[in-house]
């Protein structure tokens, strides 16, 4: 009799454990399977010694002080996005902020249930505004807004992800425009182009 009860309890525990395990599996399976494909940032080895991974983005003008996630490409060939509304995401297949080339950071605009997102006010940035990136050692790199432009969602982004002037840039991206329910995407992307340096 005792062994029978023990067996039933074991079955109950096993069932609950199975439910929890299944939930966890389902949770991870339903995450974006195309999240960051791993890769090394292309970088100058000498620069890499000096420029470290970004950990925070600060934009005083629009009260942003956000943690930086690292993302790569989705399976669709687009840059991945941060998991939540509060963080921003750095494209880790490109240069680190401060390295020569165009580093890219994306953030959400709008979130569910009216929760504010990090780049809700990105559109307020103007030429000359400053922003700061802190790296893992606490070093701060300053960037100055050069230009704000609107892109179509499928427009060629070569200029956003690449540059050939031998200088360091940081470009910020978020969504704008009209929601396309079928595509589950907004029609435009707001790009803030910035240059490393201090406002002159």
Partner 1 sequence: MKKIGKNSVVTILAVTFALGFVGPVAALAAVGVAPSLGAEAPYAIVASTWTNSYTSGTGLETAITGGVCYTTPPATAPISINGVTTTPLSLAVVPCTNGGSQTAALVDLNAQAADASCTSLGTNVVLSGTYTPGCYKSSGTMDITLSTTVTLNGQGIYIFKSGGALTTGANSKVVLTNGALAQNVYWIPGGTATLGANSATSPTPTFVGNIIADALGSTGITVGQFVNIRGRLLAFGHTVTTDQDTITTPTSLHVIKLVVGGTTPASGFTVHVKQGGVDVGAPTAGAAAPGTTYALSAGNYVVSEDANSSYVRTFTGTGCDSSGNVTLATGDDATCTIVNTAVAVVSPAASGGGNVSESGRIVPLIGILKVPAPLALPGGSGSVTYNYTAWNVGGQQALINVAVTDDQCSPVTYVSGDLNGNGKLDPHENWKYSCTTTLSKTTTNTATAIGYSDDGFHQATVATAIATVVVGALLPPPLINIVKVPSRLTPFPFGGGNVTYTYTVTNPGVVAMNNVAVTDDKCGPVSRISGDANSNNLLDPGETWTYTCKTNVTASTRNVAAAEGKANGFTALGYAFATVLVSAPGLPNTGLPPGGNSVPWNIVTLVGILMVIAISLVVVLKKRTV
Q: Residues interacting with partner 1, by CB under 8 A? A: 5, 8, 11-12, 15-16, 19, 22-23, 26-27, 30, 42, 73, 76-82, 89, 91, 93, 101, 106-114, 119, 151-158, 160-164, 173-175, 179, 181, 184-186, 189
CB 140 → partner 1: shortest distance, Å? Answer: 25
Long-range contacts of 26-31 (CB under 8 A, 24+ apart): none
With respect to partner 1, which residue has the nearer C-beta, 161 or 193? 161
With respect to partner 1, which residue has the nearer C-beta, 140 or 162? 162
With respect to partner 1, which residue has the nearer C-beta, 142 or 186? 186
The Cα–Cα gap between 17 and 11 comes to 10
How many residues would you count in the chain? 200
With respect to partner 1, which residue has the nearer C-beta, 5 or 138? 5
CB 124 → partner 1: shortest distance, Å? Answer: 17
Q: Which pair of tokens denotes residue 111? A: 């979130």
With respect to partner 1, which residue has the nearer C-beta, 88 or 145? 88
CB 138 → partner 1: shortest distance, Å? Answer: 28
The Cα–Cα gap between 59 and 65 comes to 7
Short-list 185, 163, 189, CA closest to 176 = 189
The Cα–Cα gap between 191 and 165 comes to 19
Which residues on neighbouring strands pair with residue 133, listed in sequence order? 57, 141
With respect to partner 1, which residue has the nearer C-beta, 40 or 137? 40
Short-list 172, 108, 185, 175, CA closest to 146 = 172
If DSSP codes are grouped into helix, strand and coil, which group holds residue 151? strand
The Cα–Cα gap between 155 and 150 comes to 10
């Amino acid at each position: 009799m005792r062994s029978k009860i023990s067996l039933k309890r074991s079955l109950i525990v096993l069932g609950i454990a199975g439910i929890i395990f299944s939930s966890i599996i389902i949770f991870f399976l339903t995450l974006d399977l195309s999240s960051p494909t791993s890769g090394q940032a292309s970088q100058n080895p000498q620069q890499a010694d000096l420029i470290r991974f970004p950990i925070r983005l600060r934009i005083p003008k629009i009260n942003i002080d956000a943690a930086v996630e690292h993302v790569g490409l989705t399976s669709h060939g687009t840059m991945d996005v941060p998991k939540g509304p509060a963080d921003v995401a750095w494209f880790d297949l490109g240069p680190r902020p401060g390295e020569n080339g165009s580093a890219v950071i994306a953030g959400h605009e709008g979130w569910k249930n009216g929760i504010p997102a990090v780049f809700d006010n990105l559109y307020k940035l103007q030429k000359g505004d400053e922003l700061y990136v802190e790296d893992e050692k606490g070093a701060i790199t300053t960037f100055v807004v050069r230009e704000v432009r609107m892109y179509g969602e499928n427009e060629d982004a070569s200029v956003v992800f690449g540059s050939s002037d031998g200088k360091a840039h940081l470009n910020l991206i978020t969504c704008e425009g009209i929601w396309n329910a079928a595509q589950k995407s907004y029609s435009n992307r707001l790009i803030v182009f910035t240059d490393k340096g201090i406002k002159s």
